[in-house]
């Protein structure tokens, strides 16, 4: 039994940590930075035909200029629902109607709002780091089980170092993404 090579699935751990990083980047994309971006509307759901639906599935989202987002709603009866969803989203944007087109002028962010957004970004990053640490804990638990099943102390130490290296790499990527996002938010 001691001669058998017991492997830990580091590819699965990396895939799960990468999923946490991807989720963090998606949350960062939804943060308003003072520049128009179609992804800032991604978390907003519209009550369409009795169920919550993403805005990009009820209309075409465009960014015609750096401080304007437009939504060309396909179904006229949905215009009011889309407008209501945007008003209630907490984005701080006042939609303007022009027929079936909803225009969203992006106001300049003031200093206080910028600082608040950097704190929100930091919270998102911390949630991402917690997710990565949870995956790390799962990996360490796999190693403990493998040790109980006959893995040598030396092999266990090698695997623990490997899991820690992967964790450190993804935490570093998250910290770098946070730095970039905070710099983008604070840019005037």
For 14-48, write each residue's pLDDT tens digit.
999 999 999 999 888 777 666 777 777 887 889 88
Return the percentage of the chain with pLDDT > 70, whole number: 95
For 114-141, write each residue's pLDDT tens digit.
888 888 899 999 999 999 999 999 999 9
pLDDT value, residue 188? 64
Q: Both 72 and 140 in a single domain?
A: no
Q: Both 136 and 161 in a single domain?
A: yes
Residue 32 three-state SS: coil
Count other Cβ atoms within 10 Å, centred on residue 71: 25
Residue 72 three-state SS: strand
Domain boundary at 79, 105, 131, which?
105
pLDDT band at 2 (very low <50, low <70, confident <90, very high): very low
Q: Are 170 and 19 in contact (CB under 8 A)?
A: no
Residue 56 belongs to domain spanning? 41-105
Question: Does the pLDDT value for residue 6 go beyond 80?
Answer: no
What's the domain count of the chain?
Answer: 2
DSSP 55: G
Q: Which residue has the tokens 């970004």?
A: 121
Residue 78, domain CATH: 3.30.1360.40
pLDDT value, residue 3? 43
Distance from C-alpha of 6 to C-alpha of 76, rounded to nearest angstrom: 61
What are the residues facing 101 on neighbouring strands? 72, 98
Residue 45 three-state SS: strand
In this prediction, residues 163-173 reach a mean pLDDT of 96
Q: Are 71 and 82 in contact (CB under 8 A)?
A: yes
For 62-120, write each residue's pLDDT tens digit.
988 888 899 999 989 889 999 988 888 767 788 999 888 999 888 777 888 788 888 88
Return the percentage of the chain with pLDDT > 90, whole number: 45
Domain boundary at 105, 121, 139, which?
105
Segments in the chain forming alpha helices (H) = 10-30, 79-87, 111-148, 153-186
Q: Both 136 and 70 in a single domain?
A: no
Answer whether residue 97 is part of any domain: yes
């Amino acid at each position: 039994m001691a001669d058998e090579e017991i492997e830990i699935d580091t590819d699965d751990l990396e895939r799960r940590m990468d999923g946490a990083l991807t989720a963090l980047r998606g949350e960062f994309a939804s943060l308003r930075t003072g520049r128009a971006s179609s992804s800032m509307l991604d978390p907003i759901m519209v009550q369409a035909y009795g169920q919550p639906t993403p805005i990009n599935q009820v209309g075409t989202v465009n960014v015609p200029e750096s401080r304007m987002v437009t939504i060309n709603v396909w179904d006229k009866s949905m215009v009011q629902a889309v407008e209501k969803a945007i008003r209630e989203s907490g984005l701080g944007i006042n939609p303007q109607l022009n027929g079936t087109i909803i225009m969203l002028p992006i106001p300049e962010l003031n200093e206080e709002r910028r600082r608040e957004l950097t704190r929100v970004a930091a919270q998102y990053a911390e949630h991402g780091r917690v997710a990565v640490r949870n995956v790390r804990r799962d990996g360490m638990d796999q190693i403990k089980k493998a040790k109980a099943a006959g893995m040598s102390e030396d092999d266990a130490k090698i695997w623990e170092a490997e899991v820690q290296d992967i964790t450190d790499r993804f935490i570093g990527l998250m910290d770098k993404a946070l730095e970039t996002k905070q710099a983008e938010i604070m840019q005037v």
